[in-house]
Amino acid sequence: MKHDDYVLKLDNVTMRFGGLTAVNGLSFSIKPKEIVGLIGPNGAGKTTIFNCVTQFYDTYEGAISFKNDEGSVNLKDHKVTEVIDLGIARTFQNIELVPDLSVLDNIMIGAHNTFKTGVVQHIFRTPKAKAEEKAIREKAVEALKFMHIDHLKDQFAGGQPYGVQKKIEIARTLMSNPKLIILDEPAAGLNDNETDELEALIHRIRDEYGASILLIEHDMGFVMEICDRVCAINFGQFLAMDTPKKIQNHPDVQEAYLGKEE
Amino acid sequence: MTDKPKENKLLEYWNAFATLVKRHPHVQYLIFGLVLVLFGYLSSVGVLPSYYNSVFAYIIIFTIVALGLNLLLGFSGLISLASSSFIGVGALGTGVFLNLGLPFEIAALLAIVSAAIIGSLIGLLSSKISGIYLAISTLFIAEILRQIFTSLEMFGGERLDIGTVELLGFLELSRNSRAQRFYLFAIMAIVMAVMMMVTYNIIKSRSGRAFMGISRSENSAAAMGISPLKYRVMAFTIATIFAAVAGVLYALYYQNAPTRQWGLLQSLTIIAIVVVGGFKSIYGMFLGAFIIHGLSELFLKELLGDVSYIFSGILLIVVILFYPKGVAHIWVDIRKLYYKFKYRNKEKDVIKDET
């Protein structure tokens, strides 16, 4: 692996909300097929970074570049709705599903950008539109099987337990063939069994879908188990980025979490 | 015993038919349309009172508009208080273009296209404003359209007379002949069935899911590449096209178009139809139109005279109290009861077997 081989690279990214600097001169990069955890105390700016990467915030300074099969792109040149076409899919901290659609239909929304037919073709149910719908339905069932929730496919998403809803969101990201999957607190609110299962699933996503994964998580046990590397930040400032073991023993990180020893 | 195989065969046909209907909702809508046509036939030959025809024609018009509005209210989470105005655009537009000497089909198409253009402009507006502010802006657009209808000379002041309509260049239909009026009614019923199919196709497609995506969680929709602006414009355009189609049918059936009718009151009636019928329901729109418009016109007015509106108001409140999901939900409850009943009987049988 070459040294400058990356999927996502943040270069001196700063994001200000009025007088508040949420992210301050942050730089780090993610290698292909790497699982990177982003940790930091509450209010450290983790979700802000996610929103900058996915272009929900487009007023940040610095550069965020993303490398897919066609080469390197500056994400700032793309709108929020175009980011998924490049190969970045994400989940949300507060689950964002359509409660009154079936689980399967929710997954199919994730393939929205891969459709080639438009509304006129849908109205007339042209053979092409039908075939496409069918293919994507099958792909969605595959994604559900992958997450072990295919038995729930015809139920409403709104009535599912929290852990299942989290899985639906992750399954949805798989539909767009992403190069990079961004997970915002995937293990929050899960019990120990579910967390263990999620761990295995995330590894399988990396191996079978060939995607890099960037995740925010407060469950340190989970982060230490799953991540190849961990990036720690505090008050929007970069603290350290290293293997989980080394991060655990890093003095700056310990200080950020536990306070300074007197 | 001899006729048992025959019975079985009939049952077999029935089962095959039932699975066909179950699998293809389009067939259901077509059957629904044909039943309405039959209904129109019965009232045109005098088995049923002939004014039923005219009331049901209006129910069909309301159903089509409500189907369009449902795409906004039920699916995309947008509101429009201008749906009635777009029936007006459809009806008056058809009239004006017909009076210019254009054939009916072209006139109808032009009326629908002009409505769609205005609708897409409102859609653009909705990207900047939402909720109650959007409602108020559409109210103003409705008011502007109403002023245009009533004050421009080309719309004929009080009403625009259209007269006999020539379809496909040779089929002349006038509402003054009973038989021809039935044909007009049949055309409306079939168009309604087609609009139901169109609605079904839209909501069961990528576009329908996108409508629900932008209304239920705009952020995740954007992250999945669904442009809220594009789908808002699309929803408004489709809704106005539905309303304009209803307007064209109005012009076709009643063969004149009043100018003062297309105001807020009727728009609110259509919203009530969507609420009573049930958000996101297709048959519910017909049910809602029947309850809001049909019941009072057909029965209550005869029984109670002018105070019938009080009762339709009370009916509305009762429905909202007991069926907040819409009347279409009654079907679900009936099915639940049926299964409960079936299950209970089976349980009894099991107990009997054991004893």
| A133 with B221: Cβ contact below 8 A | no
Give percent above pLDDT 70 in chain B: 94
pLDDT at residue number B349:
59
Residue A92, in any domain of the structure: no
- Name the residue with higher pLDDT: B228 or B169: B228
Q: Does A170 touch chain B (CB under 8 A)?
A: no
How many Å lie between the alpha carbon of A245 and the closest alpha carbon of chain B? 33
pLDDT at residue number B125:
85
CA angle B44, B48, B51 (to 5 degrees): 65
Q: Whole domain around residue B218: which residue ranges?
A: 27-264
Residue A8, in any domain of the structure: yes
Closest CA to B271 of B123, B80, B58, B86: B80
Residue B339, in any domain of the structure: yes
| B206 with A117: Cβ contact below 8 A | yes
**Are residues B200 and B94 part of one domain?**
yes
| B223 with A89: Cβ contact below 8 A | yes
**Are residues B72 and B201 part of one domain?**
yes
Q: Quickly count: other Cβ atoms within 10 Å of residue B101's Cβ.
A: 7
Q: Does B108 touch chain A (CB under 8 A)?
A: no
Q: Does A156 touch chain B (CB under 8 A)?
A: no
Residue-by-residue DSSP string for B8-45: HHHHHHHHHHHHHHHH-HHHHHHHHHHHHHHHHHHHHT
Q: Which residues of B touch A112 (CB under 8 A)?
A: 206, 209-210, 213, 224-226
pLDDT at residue number B62:
95
pLDDT above 50 (res A153): yes
| A81 with B226: Cβ contact below 8 A | yes
Q: Could you give phi then psi for residue A99, rounded to 5 degrees?
A: -65, -30
Which of A123, A172, A176 has its CB closest to that of B201? A123
Q: Using CA atoms, how far apart are residues B274 and B256, in angstroms rounded to an integer?
A: 27
Q: Using CA atoms, how far apart are residues B264 and B60, in angstroms rounded to an integer?
A: 20
Is the Cβ–Cβ distance between A191 and A219 less than 8 Å?
no
pLDDT above 60 (res B300): yes
Residue B214, in any domain of the structure: yes
Within the 191-250 window of chain A, which residues sit less than 8 Å (CB to CB) from chain B?
none
Structural domains counted in chain A: 2
pLDDT at residue number A14:
92
Q: What is the mean pLDDT of residues A153-157?
A: 90
Residue A63, in any domain of the structure: yes
Q: Does A101 touch chain B (CB under 8 A)?
A: yes
pLDDT at residue number B115:
94
The pLDDT tens digits of the residues spanning A95-133 come to 889 998 999 999 999 998 888 888 888 888 888 988 999
| B219 with A56: Cβ contact below 8 A | yes
pLDDT above 60 (res B283): yes
State which residue of chain A sits closest to B195, comparing Cα positions: A123
State which residue of chain A sits closest to B209, comparing Cα positions: A109
The pLDDT tens digits of the residues spanning B303-351 come to 777 777 777 778 778 888 888 787 777 877 888 888 888 777 666 655 5
How many Å lie between the alpha carbon of A38 and the closest alpha carbon of chain B? 20
Give percent above pLDDT 90 in chain A: 39
Mutation site for B-interface testing, chosen from A96, A108, A116 by largest number of B Cβ within 10 Å = A96
The pLDDT tens digits of the residues spanning B185-206 come to 999 999 999 999 999 999 999 9
Residue B151, in any domain of the structure: yes
Which of B202, B216, B223 has its CB closest to that of A84? B223
Q: Does B221 touch chain A (CB under 8 A)?
A: yes
Q: Whole domain around residue A229: which residue ranges?
A: 1-87+178-262
Q: Using CA atoms, how far apart are residues A173 and A169, in angstroms rounded to an integer?
A: 7
Sign of the four-CA dihedral A208, A213, A217, A223: positive
Using the 3D structure, point to which of B249, B264, B279 is the last residue of a domain.
Answer: B264
| A82 with B225: Cβ contact below 8 A | yes
Closest CA to B224 of B209, B239, B236: B209
Closest CA to B220 of A175, A140, A149, A8: A175
Q: Which residues of A touch B325 (CB under 8 A)?
A: none
**Are residues A211 and A136 part of one domain?**
no
**Are residues A187 and A161 part of one domain?**
no
Using the 3D structure, point to which of A173, A193, A217 is the last residue of a domain.
Answer: A173
Q: Which residues of B touch A56 (CB under 8 A)?
A: 219, 222-223
| B219 with A100: Cβ contact below 8 A | no
The pLDDT tens digits of the residues spanning A174-189 come to 998 899 999 999 988 8
Is the Cβ–Cβ distance between A238 and A62 less than 8 Å?
no
pLDDT above 90 (res B246): yes
Q: Does A183 touch chain B (CB under 8 A)?
A: no
- pTM for the model stands at 0.88
The pLDDT tens digits of the residues spanning B39-48 come to 888 888 878 8
- If you average pLDDT over every residue of chain A, what do you get? 89
Q: Does A81 touch chain B (CB under 8 A)?
A: yes
Q: Does B275 touch chain A (CB under 8 A)?
A: no
Q: Does A137 touch chain B (CB under 8 A)?
A: no
Structure ipTM:
0.88
| B227 with A81: Cβ contact below 8 A | yes
| B202 with A123: Cβ contact below 8 A | yes
SS3 of residue B209 by DSSP: helix
Using the 3D structure, point to which of A120, A144, A173 is the last residue of a domain.
Answer: A173
The amino acid sitting at B8 is N
CA angle B250, B251, B252 (to 5 degrees): 90
pLDDT above 50 (res A1): no
pLDDT at residue number B5:
62
The pLDDT tens digits of the residues spanning B312-322 come to 778 778 888 88
Q: Could you give phi then psi for residue B201, rounded to 5 degrees?
A: -60, -40
Q: Could you give phi then psi for residue B321, rounded to 5 degrees?
A: -65, -45
Residue B288, in any domain of the structure: no
pLDDT at residue number A107:
93
Q: Quickly count: other Cβ atoms within 10 Å of residue B291's Cβ.
A: 20
Q: Using CA atoms, how far apart are residues B98 and B104, in angstroms rounded to an integer?
A: 6
pLDDT above 70 (res A239): yes
Q: Does A131 touch chain B (CB under 8 A)?
A: no
Using the 3D structure, point to which of A146, A173, A200 is the last residue of a domain.
Answer: A173
Closest CA to B134 of B221, B207, B232: B232
Residue B283, in any domain of the structure: no
**Are residues A1 and A55 part of one domain?**
yes
| A99 with B210: Cβ contact below 8 A | no
Closest CA to B40 of B29, B53, B31, B49: B53
Is the Cβ–Cβ distance between A70 and A179 less than 8 Å?
no
- If you average pLDDT over every residue of chain B, what do you get? 86
**Are residues B230 and B116 part of one domain?**
yes
For chain A, the distance separating the N- and C-terminal CA atoms, rounded to the nearest angstrom, is: 43
Residue A122, in any domain of the structure: yes
Q: What is the mean pLDDT of residues B70-78?
A: 91
**Are residues A238 and A189 part of one domain?**
yes
pLDDT above 70 (res B89): yes
Least confident of B45-54, B55-64, B136-145: B45-54
Q: Does B217 touch chain A (CB under 8 A)?
A: yes
pLDDT above 80 (res B175): no
pLDDT at residue number B189:
94
Q: Does B222 touch chain A (CB under 8 A)?
A: yes
How many Å lie between the alpha carbon of B238 and the closest alpha carbon of chain A? 10
Q: Using CA atoms, how far apart are residues A81 and B316, in angstroms rounded to an integer?
A: 42
**Are residues A192 and A122 part of one domain?**
no
Q: Does A90 touch chain B (CB under 8 A)?
A: yes
Q: What is the mean pLDDT of residues A73-91?
A: 90
**Are residues A256 and A182 part of one domain?**
yes
pLDDT above 50 (res B1): no
- Name the residue with higher pLDDT: B47 or B34: B34
Q: Does B219 touch chain A (CB under 8 A)?
A: yes
**Are residues B45 and B191 part of one domain?**
yes
